[in-house]
Amino acid sequence: MKVYLQTFGCRANQYDSEVVRGLLEQAGAELVSDAVDADAAVFNSCAVTAAAEADLRRAVRRAARRRPTIKTVVMGCAAARDADGIGALPNVSRVIPGAGGAEVAAALGMAAGDDRPVRQTGTRALLRIQDGCDEHCTFCATTLARGANRSRPADDLVTEAGQLAEHHAEIVITGVHVGSYGLDIGTSLGALVDELVRAVPRARFRLSSVEATEVDDRLRERLTANDGGLVPYLHAPLQSGSDRVLRRMGRHWYTAATYARAIERIVRDAPVFGLGADIIAGFPGESEEDHRATMSLVSSLPFTGLHVFPFSARPGTAAQRIGAPVASADAPRRADELRAEGERLATAYRARRAGGSADVIVIGDRAHRSGLTEDYVSVIPADDALSRGTRMRMRLTIDNGVLFGHAC
Protein backbone atom coordinates (compact mmCIF):
# COMPACT_ATOMS: atom_id res chain seq x y z
CA MET A 1 0.00 0.00 0.00
CA LYS A 2 1.22 3.52 -0.87
CA VAL A 3 0.48 6.07 1.88
CA TYR A 4 0.70 9.87 1.87
CA LEU A 5 1.33 11.44 5.31
CA GLN A 6 0.94 15.15 6.04
CA THR A 7 1.41 16.86 9.39
CA PHE A 8 0.00 20.15 10.68
CA GLY A 9 1.05 21.88 13.88
CA CYS A 10 3.62 21.54 16.62
CA ARG A 11 6.61 19.32 17.27
CA ALA A 12 4.48 17.00 19.41
CA ASN A 13 2.38 16.38 16.31
CA GLN A 14 5.50 15.91 14.23
CA TYR A 15 6.71 13.28 16.69
CA ASP A 16 3.37 11.47 16.49
CA SER A 17 3.67 11.45 12.70
CA GLU A 18 7.14 9.92 12.96
CA VAL A 19 5.58 7.14 15.07
CA VAL A 20 2.93 6.59 12.40
CA ARG A 21 5.54 6.62 9.63
CA GLY A 22 7.60 4.00 11.43
CA LEU A 23 4.61 1.76 12.09
CA LEU A 24 3.45 1.92 8.48
CA GLU A 25 6.92 1.20 7.11
CA GLN A 26 7.31 -1.77 9.46
CA ALA A 27 4.00 -3.08 8.13
CA GLY A 28 5.26 -2.87 4.55
CA ALA A 29 3.70 0.42 3.41
CA GLU A 30 5.49 2.72 0.98
CA LEU A 31 5.38 6.39 2.02
CA VAL A 32 4.93 8.70 -0.97
CA SER A 33 5.39 12.46 -1.27
CA ASP A 34 2.22 13.26 -3.22
CA ALA A 35 -1.36 12.23 -2.48
CA VAL A 36 -2.00 11.67 -6.19
CA ASP A 37 0.29 8.61 -6.02
CA ALA A 38 -1.26 7.19 -2.83
CA ASP A 39 -3.80 4.50 -2.03
CA ALA A 40 -4.38 6.06 1.39
CA ALA A 41 -3.69 9.36 3.13
CA VAL A 42 -3.08 10.14 6.79
CA PHE A 43 -3.49 13.74 7.96
CA ASN A 44 -2.25 14.67 11.45
CA SER A 45 -4.33 17.71 12.40
CA CYS A 46 -3.81 20.81 14.56
CA ALA A 47 -6.41 22.84 16.48
CA VAL A 48 -4.29 25.77 17.66
CA THR A 49 -5.68 28.26 15.13
CA ALA A 50 -8.63 28.51 12.77
CA ALA A 51 -6.11 28.75 9.93
CA ALA A 52 -4.58 25.38 10.86
CA GLU A 53 -7.98 23.68 10.76
CA ALA A 54 -8.85 25.40 7.47
CA ASP A 55 -5.55 24.17 5.99
CA LEU A 56 -6.40 20.62 7.05
CA ARG A 57 -9.84 20.71 5.42
CA ARG A 58 -8.40 22.11 2.19
CA ALA A 59 -5.74 19.39 2.12
CA VAL A 60 -8.29 16.59 2.65
CA ARG A 61 -10.57 17.93 -0.06
CA ARG A 62 -7.67 18.45 -2.46
CA ALA A 63 -6.45 14.88 -1.95
CA ALA A 64 -9.94 13.51 -2.67
CA ARG A 65 -10.27 15.70 -5.76
CA ARG A 66 -6.89 14.68 -7.18
CA ARG A 67 -7.21 11.01 -6.19
CA PRO A 68 -10.94 10.08 -6.04
CA THR A 69 -10.24 6.54 -4.76
CA ILE A 70 -8.01 7.58 -1.89
CA LYS A 71 -8.85 6.32 1.62
CA THR A 72 -8.27 9.06 4.19
CA VAL A 73 -7.58 8.84 7.94
CA VAL A 74 -7.44 12.01 10.06
CA MET A 75 -5.74 12.00 13.48
CA GLY A 76 -4.60 14.67 15.93
CA CYS A 77 -6.06 17.59 17.87
CA ALA A 78 -8.61 18.85 15.34
CA ALA A 79 -9.83 15.26 14.99
CA ALA A 80 -10.44 15.21 18.75
CA ARG A 81 -12.28 18.54 18.67
CA ASP A 82 -14.56 18.03 15.65
CA ALA A 83 -14.80 14.34 14.78
CA ASP A 84 -18.21 14.67 13.12
CA GLY A 85 -17.29 17.63 10.94
CA ILE A 86 -13.99 16.14 9.85
CA GLY A 87 -15.60 12.75 9.31
CA ALA A 88 -17.97 14.36 6.81
CA LEU A 89 -15.11 15.51 4.57
CA PRO A 90 -14.75 13.61 1.28
CA ASN A 91 -13.13 10.16 1.43
CA VAL A 92 -12.53 10.27 5.21
CA SER A 93 -12.98 6.70 6.43
CA ARG A 94 -11.74 7.12 10.01
CA VAL A 95 -11.23 9.96 12.50
CA ILE A 96 -8.79 9.19 15.34
CA PRO A 97 -8.58 11.67 18.24
CA GLY A 98 -5.05 12.50 19.42
CA ALA A 99 -1.94 10.47 18.62
CA GLY A 100 -3.21 6.92 18.00
CA GLY A 101 -0.39 5.49 15.89
CA ALA A 102 -1.52 1.89 16.32
CA GLU A 103 -5.11 2.93 15.54
CA VAL A 104 -3.96 4.54 12.30
CA ALA A 105 -2.20 1.36 11.24
CA ALA A 106 -5.31 -0.69 12.09
CA ALA A 107 -7.55 1.72 10.16
CA LEU A 108 -5.43 1.00 7.09
CA GLY A 109 -5.58 -2.75 7.68
CA MET A 110 -1.97 -3.06 8.88
CA ALA A 111 -0.50 -4.72 11.95
CA ALA A 112 1.16 -2.34 14.45
CA GLY A 113 4.72 -3.10 15.53
CA ASP A 114 7.22 -1.18 17.70
CA ASP A 115 5.93 2.37 18.13
CA ARG A 116 9.32 3.93 18.94
CA PRO A 117 10.71 5.78 15.89
CA VAL A 118 14.41 4.89 16.06
CA ARG A 119 15.28 6.90 12.96
CA GLN A 120 13.32 9.96 11.90
CA THR A 121 13.06 11.93 8.67
CA GLY A 122 14.41 15.22 10.02
CA THR A 123 18.07 16.02 10.65
CA ARG A 124 17.19 16.60 14.30
CA ALA A 125 15.14 13.96 16.10
CA LEU A 126 12.09 14.56 18.29
CA LEU A 127 11.47 12.90 21.66
CA ARG A 128 7.98 13.41 23.10
CA ILE A 129 8.31 12.99 26.86
CA GLN A 130 4.69 13.66 27.86
CA ASP A 131 1.23 14.41 26.50
CA GLY A 132 -1.62 16.60 27.69
CA CYS A 133 -1.79 19.64 29.98
CA ASP A 134 -3.37 20.32 33.38
CA GLU A 135 -3.60 24.08 32.84
CA HIS A 136 -6.61 25.80 31.29
CA CYS A 137 -5.50 28.80 29.27
CA THR A 138 -8.64 30.46 28.00
CA PHE A 139 -7.41 30.63 24.40
CA CYS A 140 -6.17 27.05 24.12
CA ALA A 141 -8.00 24.22 22.37
CA THR A 142 -5.05 21.84 22.68
CA THR A 143 -5.77 21.06 26.34
CA LEU A 144 -9.34 20.18 25.41
CA ALA A 145 -8.06 17.89 22.65
CA ARG A 146 -5.08 16.27 24.41
CA GLY A 147 -6.41 15.81 27.96
CA ALA A 148 -4.49 15.81 31.25
CA ASN A 149 -0.71 15.60 31.70
CA ARG A 150 0.67 12.09 31.20
CA SER A 151 4.44 11.55 31.58
CA ARG A 152 6.33 8.72 29.91
CA PRO A 153 8.65 6.56 32.05
CA ALA A 154 12.23 7.85 32.14
CA ASP A 155 13.69 4.42 31.32
CA ASP A 156 11.68 4.25 28.09
CA LEU A 157 12.81 7.74 27.12
CA VAL A 158 16.48 6.98 27.77
CA THR A 159 16.22 3.84 25.62
CA GLU A 160 14.53 5.71 22.78
CA ALA A 161 16.99 8.60 22.97
CA GLY A 162 19.90 6.17 22.76
CA GLN A 163 18.45 4.63 19.61
CA LEU A 164 17.80 8.05 18.06
CA ALA A 165 21.36 9.19 18.85
CA GLU A 166 22.69 6.49 16.54
CA HIS A 167 21.30 8.53 13.62
CA HIS A 168 20.76 12.10 14.88
CA ALA A 169 23.22 14.58 16.39
CA GLU A 170 20.47 16.57 18.14
CA ILE A 171 17.36 15.39 19.99
CA VAL A 172 14.58 17.91 20.67
CA ILE A 173 12.63 17.21 23.86
CA THR A 174 9.00 17.95 23.14
CA GLY A 175 5.47 17.53 24.45
CA VAL A 176 2.33 19.54 25.09
CA HIS A 177 3.40 20.93 28.50
CA VAL A 178 7.04 19.89 28.77
CA GLY A 179 7.65 21.65 32.10
CA SER A 180 5.04 19.48 33.84
CA TYR A 181 6.98 16.32 33.06
CA GLY A 182 7.17 14.03 36.08
CA LEU A 183 4.56 15.69 38.28
CA ASP A 184 2.33 12.62 37.90
CA ILE A 185 5.10 10.03 38.42
CA GLY A 186 7.22 11.56 41.18
CA THR A 187 10.10 13.08 39.24
CA SER A 188 10.94 16.26 37.32
CA LEU A 189 12.08 17.60 33.97
CA GLY A 190 15.47 18.50 35.45
CA ALA A 191 15.98 14.94 36.69
CA LEU A 192 15.03 13.51 33.30
CA VAL A 193 17.38 15.85 31.43
CA ASP A 194 20.24 14.94 33.78
CA GLU A 195 19.63 11.25 33.04
CA LEU A 196 19.38 11.77 29.27
CA VAL A 197 22.59 13.80 29.10
CA ARG A 198 24.45 11.25 31.23
CA ALA A 199 23.15 8.17 29.41
CA VAL A 200 23.27 9.52 25.84
CA PRO A 201 26.47 11.60 25.55
CA ARG A 202 26.82 11.43 21.76
CA ALA A 203 23.78 13.69 21.07
CA ARG A 204 23.02 17.19 22.23
CA PHE A 205 19.54 17.83 23.67
CA ARG A 206 17.27 20.83 23.18
CA LEU A 207 14.08 21.79 25.05
CA SER A 208 11.30 22.73 22.65
CA SER A 209 9.25 24.99 24.95
CA VAL A 210 9.23 25.42 28.74
CA GLU A 211 7.54 28.02 30.95
CA ALA A 212 10.20 30.35 32.37
CA THR A 213 8.89 29.97 35.93
CA GLU A 214 9.12 26.15 35.65
CA VAL A 215 12.91 26.19 35.22
CA ASP A 216 14.26 25.06 38.60
CA ASP A 217 17.89 25.32 39.76
CA ARG A 218 18.74 21.84 38.48
CA LEU A 219 17.48 22.61 34.98
CA ARG A 220 19.00 26.12 34.97
CA GLU A 221 22.43 24.66 35.72
CA ARG A 222 22.07 22.30 32.77
CA LEU A 223 20.93 25.10 30.45
CA THR A 224 23.89 27.30 31.29
CA ALA A 225 26.60 24.62 31.60
CA ASN A 226 27.39 24.90 27.86
CA ASP A 227 28.99 21.44 27.99
CA GLY A 228 27.45 20.02 24.83
CA GLY A 229 24.71 18.14 26.67
CA LEU A 230 21.67 20.42 27.00
CA VAL A 231 22.01 23.41 24.67
CA PRO A 232 21.84 26.99 26.02
CA TYR A 233 18.46 27.80 24.52
CA LEU A 234 15.02 28.33 26.02
CA HIS A 235 11.72 28.97 24.29
CA ALA A 236 9.66 30.42 27.15
CA PRO A 237 6.04 31.32 26.21
CA LEU A 238 5.17 34.88 27.26
CA GLN A 239 1.84 35.48 25.43
CA SER A 240 1.47 39.00 26.89
CA GLY A 241 3.43 41.53 28.90
CA SER A 242 0.25 42.91 30.47
CA ASP A 243 -0.85 41.42 33.81
CA ARG A 244 -4.44 42.31 33.01
CA VAL A 245 -4.33 40.32 29.78
CA LEU A 246 -2.45 37.43 31.40
CA ARG A 247 -5.28 37.09 33.94
CA ARG A 248 -7.82 37.04 31.12
CA MET A 249 -5.73 34.36 29.41
CA GLY A 250 -5.87 32.18 32.53
CA ARG A 251 -2.09 32.23 32.87
CA HIS A 252 -2.22 32.56 36.63
CA TRP A 253 1.24 31.21 37.48
CA TYR A 254 3.23 34.31 36.51
CA THR A 255 3.08 38.05 36.01
CA ALA A 256 5.14 40.24 33.71
CA ALA A 257 7.49 40.93 36.63
CA THR A 258 7.94 37.29 37.71
CA TYR A 259 8.49 36.25 34.08
CA ALA A 260 11.22 38.90 33.73
CA ARG A 261 12.88 37.84 36.99
CA ALA A 262 12.83 34.19 35.91
CA ILE A 263 14.46 35.02 32.57
CA GLU A 264 17.10 37.21 34.16
CA ARG A 265 17.94 34.45 36.66
CA ILE A 266 18.37 31.91 33.87
CA VAL A 267 20.33 34.04 31.40
CA ARG A 268 22.42 36.39 33.54
CA ASP A 269 25.55 34.22 33.84
CA ALA A 270 25.46 32.70 30.35
CA PRO A 271 27.84 34.22 27.76
CA VAL A 272 25.92 32.41 24.98
CA PHE A 273 22.17 31.90 25.32
CA GLY A 274 19.28 31.86 22.86
CA LEU A 275 15.88 32.99 24.10
CA GLY A 276 12.57 32.74 22.26
CA ALA A 277 8.92 33.27 23.18
CA ASP A 278 5.37 32.97 21.89
CA ILE A 279 3.22 36.11 21.99
CA ILE A 280 -0.45 36.55 21.11
CA ALA A 281 -1.39 39.94 19.68
CA GLY A 282 -4.95 41.26 19.87
CA PHE A 283 -6.34 39.02 22.63
CA PRO A 284 -9.99 39.95 23.42
CA GLY A 285 -10.09 43.07 25.56
CA GLU A 286 -6.43 43.96 24.90
CA SER A 287 -6.01 47.74 24.91
CA GLU A 288 -3.32 49.83 23.29
CA GLU A 289 -1.85 50.29 26.78
CA ASP A 290 -1.68 46.49 27.19
CA HIS A 291 0.09 46.19 23.85
CA ARG A 292 2.60 48.86 24.85
CA ALA A 293 3.30 46.96 28.07
CA THR A 294 4.11 43.87 26.00
CA MET A 295 6.34 45.88 23.66
CA SER A 296 8.18 47.38 26.65
CA LEU A 297 8.76 44.00 28.31
CA VAL A 298 9.98 42.44 25.05
CA SER A 299 12.44 45.29 24.50
CA SER A 300 13.82 44.94 28.03
CA LEU A 301 14.66 41.22 27.85
CA PRO A 302 17.43 39.44 25.89
CA PHE A 303 15.22 37.74 23.31
CA THR A 304 16.92 36.33 20.23
CA GLY A 305 13.70 35.49 18.36
CA LEU A 306 9.92 35.69 18.74
CA HIS A 307 6.91 33.73 17.45
CA VAL A 308 4.05 36.24 17.21
CA PHE A 309 0.46 35.27 16.34
CA PRO A 310 -2.67 37.39 16.02
CA PHE A 311 -5.39 36.01 18.31
CA SER A 312 -7.47 33.24 16.74
CA ALA A 313 -10.78 32.37 18.42
CA ARG A 314 -11.25 28.63 18.98
CA PRO A 315 -14.70 27.12 19.44
CA GLY A 316 -15.38 25.98 22.99
CA THR A 317 -12.66 28.10 24.63
CA ALA A 318 -13.44 30.69 27.29
CA ALA A 319 -11.59 33.49 25.46
CA GLN A 320 -14.62 34.01 23.25
CA ARG A 321 -16.67 35.09 26.29
CA ILE A 322 -14.34 37.25 28.37
CA GLY A 323 -13.68 40.37 26.35
CA ALA A 324 -14.64 42.42 23.34
CA PRO A 325 -12.80 41.54 20.12
CA VAL A 326 -9.95 43.84 19.19
CA ALA A 327 -10.58 45.97 16.10
CA SER A 328 -9.76 44.02 12.94
CA ALA A 329 -6.99 46.42 11.91
CA ASP A 330 -5.34 46.55 15.34
CA ALA A 331 -4.40 42.89 15.92
CA PRO A 332 -2.30 42.50 12.74
CA ARG A 333 -0.69 45.92 13.30
CA ARG A 334 0.28 44.97 16.84
CA ALA A 335 1.61 41.62 15.60
CA ASP A 336 3.71 43.40 12.98
CA GLU A 337 5.16 45.76 15.60
CA LEU A 338 6.10 42.85 17.83
CA ARG A 339 7.65 40.93 14.93
CA ALA A 340 9.70 44.00 13.97
CA GLU A 341 10.99 44.33 17.52
CA GLY A 342 11.77 40.61 17.58
CA GLU A 343 13.75 40.92 14.36
CA ARG A 344 15.65 43.94 15.73
CA LEU A 345 16.66 41.91 18.78
CA ALA A 346 17.57 38.89 16.63
CA THR A 347 19.72 41.01 14.31
CA ALA A 348 21.58 42.52 17.26
CA TYR A 349 22.19 39.08 18.74
CA ARG A 350 23.54 37.70 15.46
CA ALA A 351 25.96 40.62 15.28
CA ARG A 352 27.18 39.87 18.83
CA ARG A 353 27.81 36.22 17.90
CA ALA A 354 30.17 37.20 15.06
CA GLY A 355 33.79 36.55 15.97
CA GLY A 356 32.93 33.78 18.39
CA SER A 357 32.53 30.06 17.85
CA ALA A 358 29.55 27.71 17.90
CA ASP A 359 28.55 24.06 18.03
CA VAL A 360 26.91 23.70 14.60
CA ILE A 361 24.81 20.94 13.07
CA VAL A 362 24.41 20.99 9.28
CA ILE A 363 20.73 20.98 8.27
CA GLY A 364 19.20 20.27 4.88
CA ASP A 365 20.57 19.09 1.56
CA ARG A 366 23.01 20.74 -0.84
CA ALA A 367 20.41 23.04 -2.36
CA HIS A 368 19.06 24.26 1.00
CA ARG A 369 22.00 23.74 3.34
CA SER A 370 22.30 25.74 6.53
CA GLY A 371 23.67 25.17 9.99
CA LEU A 372 22.04 25.46 13.41
CA THR A 373 24.03 26.60 16.42
CA GLU A 374 23.48 25.48 20.00
CA ASP A 375 21.70 28.78 20.74
CA TYR A 376 19.33 28.34 17.76
CA VAL A 377 20.95 30.72 15.29
CA SER A 378 21.06 29.86 11.59
CA VAL A 379 24.46 30.01 9.87
CA ILE A 380 25.71 29.20 6.39
CA PRO A 381 28.55 26.64 6.47
CA ALA A 382 31.47 27.94 4.41
CA ASP A 383 32.30 24.36 3.38
CA ASP A 384 29.46 23.24 1.09
CA ALA A 385 30.82 19.67 1.04
CA LEU A 386 29.70 19.01 4.61
CA SER A 387 26.99 16.36 4.73
CA ARG A 388 23.61 16.72 6.38
CA GLY A 389 23.80 15.90 10.09
CA THR A 390 27.48 16.81 10.48
CA ARG A 391 28.21 18.33 13.88
CA MET A 392 31.32 20.40 14.36
CA ARG A 393 32.77 23.48 16.03
CA MET A 394 32.74 26.53 13.75
CA ARG A 395 34.12 30.06 13.92
CA LEU A 396 31.43 32.63 13.08
CA THR A 397 31.76 35.60 10.75
CA ILE A 398 29.07 37.98 9.52
CA ASP A 399 28.43 39.59 6.16
CA ASN A 400 25.37 41.74 5.42
CA GLY A 401 23.65 40.41 8.53
CA VAL A 402 24.21 36.75 7.55
CA LEU A 403 26.34 34.52 9.77
CA PHE A 404 28.82 32.12 8.16
CA GLY A 405 30.46 29.17 9.87
CA HIS A 406 34.08 28.16 9.25
CA ALA A 407 35.76 25.03 10.57
CA CYS A 408 37.85 25.88 13.63
Question: Model confidence over 71-98: pLDDT tens digits?
Answer: 999 999 999 888 999 999 999 999 998 8
At residue 363, the pLDDT reads 94
- What contacts 85, CB < 8 A, 6 or more positions away? none
Q: What is the mean pLDDT of the segment spanning 227-239?
A: 97
pLDDT of residue 5: 97
Q: State the pairing for strand pair 378-381/402-407.
A: parallel
Please count the CA atoms within 13 angstroms of the CA of 72 that sit on its side-chain side: 29
Asked whether the beta carbons of 170 and 124 are under 8 A apart, the reply is yes
Q: In what order do the strands lie in the sheet with 233-235?
A: 233-235, 274-281, 305-310
| 63-67, 182-186, 270-274, 366-370: segment of lowest average pLDDT | 366-370
pLDDT (0 to 100) of residue 358: 98
User: Of the given ranges (23-27, 280-284, 389-393), which has the lowest mean pLDDT?
Assistant: 23-27
- What is the amino acid identity at position 144? L
Coil vs helix vs strand at 44: strand
Percent of the chain scored above 90 by pLDDT? 84
Specify the pLDDT at position 115: 67
Residue 99's pLDDT band, with cuts at 50, 70 and 90, is confident
Which candidate, 10, 134, 19, 144, places its Cα nearest to that of 82? 144
Helices and strands in the chain, H and E counts:
13, 18
For helices 330-353 and 288-300, give the axis angle rounded to 10 degrees. Answer: 10
| Residue 139, phi then psi, degrees to nearest 5 | -95, -5
What is the pLDDT at residue 315? 82
DSSP 88: T
Q: Which residue has the higher pLDDT, 26 or 339?
A: 339
- Confidence at residue 368, expressed as pLDDT on a 0 to 100 scale: 78
What whole-number distance in Å separates Cα of residue 24 and Cα of residue 102? 9
Q: What pLDDT was estimated at residue 359?
A: 98
∠ Cα 106 51 295 (to 5°) = 130
Q: What is the pLDDT of residues 192-219, one digit of tens each?
A: 999 999 999 999 999 999 999 999 999 9
Task: Let me know: does 204 contact 359? Beta carbons within 8 Å.
Answer: yes
Question: What's the rounded Cα separation, in Å, for the pair 344 and 299?
Answer: 9
How many other CB atoms are there within 10 angstroms of residue 259's CB atom? 25
Give SS3 for 220: helix
* Residue among 183, 180, 225 at smallest CA distance from 204: 225
Q: pLDDT per residue over 139-181, tens digit each? A: 988 877 888 999 999 999 999 999 999 999 999 999 999 999 9
pLDDT tens-digit profile of 256-284?
Answer: 999 999 999 999 989 999 999 999 999 99
Q: Is the pLDDT of residue 313 over 80?
A: yes
What is the predicted pLDDT for the residue at 324? 86
Q: What is the mean pLDDT of the chain?
A: 94
Q: 349-352 long-range contacts, Cβ below 8 Å, gap at least 24?
A: 349/274, 349/302, 349/304, 349/377, 350/377, 350/398, 350/401, 350/403, 351/398, 351/401
Q: Which helix (H) or strand (E) holds 221?
A: helix 217-225
- Whether the pLDDT of residue 113 is over 80: the answer is no
pLDDT above 80: residue 117:
no
Q: Which residues contact 385 (CB under 8 A, 6 or more apart)?
A: none
